[in-house]
């Protein structure tokens, strides 16, 4: 069982799930998540470069706050690339403060309580770096990396360095991930894969299939059946 909804925190998503014991394929999205597990407590999910296969015990309850691309470093206090392809206990980042948060949340935390934790951290540091939201929005809309760099007034090297810290990888990787997600969303509306490829900026359907397989571990037809 999985459900999600928009959070009050701009651009964030609250989600909840109860594991059935089967592996779940989590596609990369350029985001960091604050997680609570009924077995493991508070965790941080870093940005993935490829699909992550999550395996949980049957009946394990999960609650998560998916932060918008670029916001995670301000909440967790570390550059995103230090968390890339990792799942780490929150106390590894926050120390004693994580134990205090866990005590406040208790054994039945709500989405609103989890969101309040992130909002307080953002307020304490003056908010997320606005560059993250700007770059992610440009790339999500299909802008090239060159065009995005020009729009935000940064050279390619500086944008790459800033993107590593904000998203966990460079802008080309983020653009590729966001393009895949845009293409899959379009395909789920019933648009054929050949047209999806053309409208999403792939050379052809074979290019789309190859790119999705590399990022997701399976071809788009498999994802669309799930």
Question: What is the mean predicted confidence (pLDDT) over 41-68?
Answer: 96
> What pLDDT, on the 0 to 100 scale, is given for residue 1?
82
What rounded mean pLDDT belongs to the chain? 96
Residue 23 pLDDT exceeds 80: yes
Cβ atoms of residues 47 and 28 within 8 Å: yes
* H or E element, residue 66: strand 61-66
Question: What is the mean predicted confidence (pLDDT) over 111-115?
Answer: 96
Range 205-211 contact pairs with CB under 8 angstroms and sequence separation of 24 or more: 208/183, 211/176, 211/179, 211/180
The proportion of the chain whose per-residue pLDDT surpasses 70, expressed as a percent, equals 100
CA nearest neighbour of 66 among 129, 18, 5: 5
β-pairing, 41-45 with 87-89?
antiparallel
> What pLDDT, on the 0 to 100 scale, is given for residue 35?
98
- Give residue-wise pLDDT tens across range 128-180: 999 999 999 999 999 999 999 999 999 999 999 999 999 999 999 999 999 99
List, in sequence order, every residue forming a beta bridge with 16; answer none if it has no partner: 3, 63
CA nearest neighbour of 51 among 33, 26, 32, 29: 26
Rounded-to-integer distance, Cα 135 and Cα 126, Å: 19
Residue 226 pLDDT exceeds 80: no
* H or E element, residue 33: strand 33-37
């Amino acid at each position: 069982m999985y459900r999600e909804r928009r959070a009050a925190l701009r651009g964030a998503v609250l989600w909840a799930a109860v594991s059935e014991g089967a592996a779940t394929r989590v596609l990369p999205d350029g985001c960091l998540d604050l997680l609570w597990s009924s077995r493991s407590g508070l965790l941080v999910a870093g940005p993935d470069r490829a699909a992550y296969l999550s395996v949980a015990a049957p009946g394990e309850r999960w609650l998560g706050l998916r932060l918008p691309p670029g916001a995670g470093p301000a909440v967790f206090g570390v550059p995103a690339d230090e968390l890339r392809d990792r799942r780490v206990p929150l106390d590894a980042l926050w120390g004693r403060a994580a134990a205090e948060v866990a005590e406040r949340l208790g054994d039945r935390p709500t989405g609103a309580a989890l969101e309040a934790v992130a909002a307080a951290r953002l307020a304490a540091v003056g908010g997320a770096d606005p560059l993250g939201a700007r770059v992610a929005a440009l790339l999500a809309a299909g802008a090239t990396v060159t065009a995005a760099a020009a729009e935000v007034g940064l050279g390619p090297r500086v944008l790459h360095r800033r993107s590593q810290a904000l998203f966990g990888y460079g802008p080309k990787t983020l653009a590729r991930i966001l393009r895949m997600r845009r293409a899959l969303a379009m395909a789920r509306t019933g648009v054929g894969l050949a047209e999806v490829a053309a409208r999403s900026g792939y050379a052809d359907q074979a290019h789309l299939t190859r790119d999705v397989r590399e990022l997701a571990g399976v071809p788009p037809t498999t994802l669309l059946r799930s």
